[in-house]
Structure 1
Amino acid sequence: MRVFVTGATGFIGTELVKELVKAGHQVRGMTRSDAGVEQLKAAGVEVHRGELTDLESLKAGATGMDAVVHLAFSHDFSKFAQNAVDEQHAIEALGSVLEPGKLLVVTSGTGLATGGPGHLRTEKDPPVDQPTIPRKPEQTARKISEKGVHVAIVRLPQVHDTHKQGLVPYVTAAAREKGVSPYIGDGSNRWAAAPLHAVAELYRLAVEKTGAGYTVYHAVQEEGVSMKEMAETIGKGLKVPVVSITPEEAPAHFGWLAGLPGWICRRRASGRGRRWGGIRLGLG
């Protein structure tokens, strides 16, 4: 298959490109930098220079492809609301050039699934729709599926390898700076997680096996590590006290991250359905 990947030189994209090439797919990767060009050439894929906010470059990259995997997202959290709008426009642009029967794979998050505290999220849970949560990748992609394009949604948890661990480094940095490693309330809220190599494999299998319609996959291998366990591990490693704080005290410690430890952690997620390569894929 001919596959276009946005965010092809990012944390997940780098691993996915290798996974797709190894499986025999023809890959076109998007990058905006000279270093990215060299990285993609070394990986043996076609290079497409483009920007997430340059909609014409996105359309050009997706034209003629059998599948598009959209991984790119700006992680400048000071502009989170604008980033969410840019994401919607990017998905719309990519979908506009795909013919019926082609595939669009869109990245979302397990934290964007609906459900109250204590509810185990599954692929059947619809995306959250609240004014306070500006990201709406799934709602945008569903509209594209209505014109006959096959759509797969991959909801990511905390993705990790030996060098990067999702949002955990930000929590660790806050603990190092403040000299204390806190958890919120009783710390029982949980974070789902998965290793990078398995997440890349899931994306590749989504490309190869997704059929008609609209399908959601949870990229979840570990269904939930409690925030208290994380705080204790960080505290032990940094040799700082571990304490419980209230939600009202969280902003003073976590800063811009303040809402996420309580919000994301409540959204424990599960992968339901068939297993491939040790990672669960939801099929409906």
Structure 2
Amino acid sequence: MQVVLTGGTGYIGVALIKELVGAGHQVTALVRNEAGAAKVTALGAQATVGDLFDSAWVAEQFAAGDAVAHLAATGDATTQELDRGVVAAAVRAGKPYVHTSGIWIWGSNDTITEESPFAPPQLTAWRSAVEKLVLQADLTATIIAPGIVYGYGGGIPGGVFDGSGKLVGQGTQHWTTVHVDDIAALYRTVLERGEGLGYLIGASGENPTVRELGEAAAGNAGVTPESVDASRERLGALFADALLLDQQTTGAKARSLGWAPKAVSLLDDLRSGTYA
């Protein structure tokens, strides 16, 4: 199968290219520059350099594939503009399409399923309007919403558990988690099926508290809770508010597809793995 994807130089994108190439698929990664091209080529993908904000160009590239996955993000407010353009390109190309969302869109909830009501923090409140476009379009589409992604010392845990022992708030909130290799395997599963599955939560079913995670990272050094205001000042208000969400889920719908998370848990990874 020929898969065309955006975001191939990113945290999940790198893992996805490895997963797809390892399964015998051909991958074309749309990248912004020659540095990105060199990175994805080294992973076994073919690189195509262009402007991801050029929806017509993106549609032309998407049309050459059997399936499409969008993982790119700018890291700032322009991600919404990027997403809207990529969705328009996907509709124009008409190929099975996998869009990337995130677990935070459901807000605080201890039994999150794909049917749960949305209650996003301000940081990700823009997503619902874009994702409605995906689901209302004449498109075979799946929206994967990963939990907090970890592994290889990266992702949010690598920045939050920085050795200071500070918790986000009091640390009583749960985080729903997934290893980067496991979420890559879920993307591959969905791409291979070529079906429109609507929302699909990508989570391992491990939902530790932030205190448990902080203690695993700090070891004998111990942890220090802080006020919500202190966390908002330290991390930025929008990011802190997202990290303060109390979320749990089983990821049952994804498991029903035959997906079986198998990587080390985030707790164990913080204690003695890639974050140690």
TM over 0.5: yes
Partners of 2:105 and 2:124 within 8 A in 1: no
Q: Can you list the C-alpha shifts for 1:84-103, whole angstroms capped at 9, x where unaligned?
A: 4224323333223222xx31
How many Å separate the matches in 1 of 2:28 and 2:41?
10
Q: Which residue does 1:125 correspond to in 2? A: 116
Please name the residue that 1:95 is paired with: 90
Whether 1:223 and 2:222 are equivalent positions in the alignment is no
Cα distance per residue 1:137-183 (max 9 Å; x no partner):
4542443443421110111112122231x21222223x63xxx5234
Q: Indicate yes or no: 2:95 matched with 1:111.
A: no
Residues 135 and 5 of structure 1: CA distance in aligned 2, closer, same or farther (over 3 Å): farther
Distance 1:223 1:92 in 2: 31
Counterpart in 2 of 1:248? 229
* Superposition deviation, residue 259 in structure 1: 2.0
Matched, 1:200 2:200: no
CA RMSD of aligned residues (A): 2.6
187, 193, 217: which one pairs with 1:234?
217
**In 1, distance between residues paired with 2:173 and 2:179?**
20
Q: Which runs of 5+ in 2 are unaligned?
A: 263-276
- Whole-angstrom CA distance in 2 between matches of 1:105 and 1:112: 17
Indicate the structure with greater strand content: 1
SS of the aligned residue for 2:14 comes to: helix
2:164 paired with 1:182 = no
- Size of the alignment, in residue pairs? 259
- Classify the secondary structure of the residue corresponding to 1:123: coil
Aligned to 2:158, the other structure's residue is in SS state helix
The alpha-carbon distance between structure 1 residues 160 and 22, as it changes in their structure 2 partners (threshold 3 A), is same
Q: Which runs of 4+ in 1 moved over 6 A?
A: none
> Would you say the 8 A contact 1:181–1:232 is kept in 2?
no
Measure, in 2, the Cα distance between the counterparts of 1:118 and 1:14. 30
1:105-128: per-residue Cα shift (whole Å, max 9, x none)?
0011111125xx443111222444
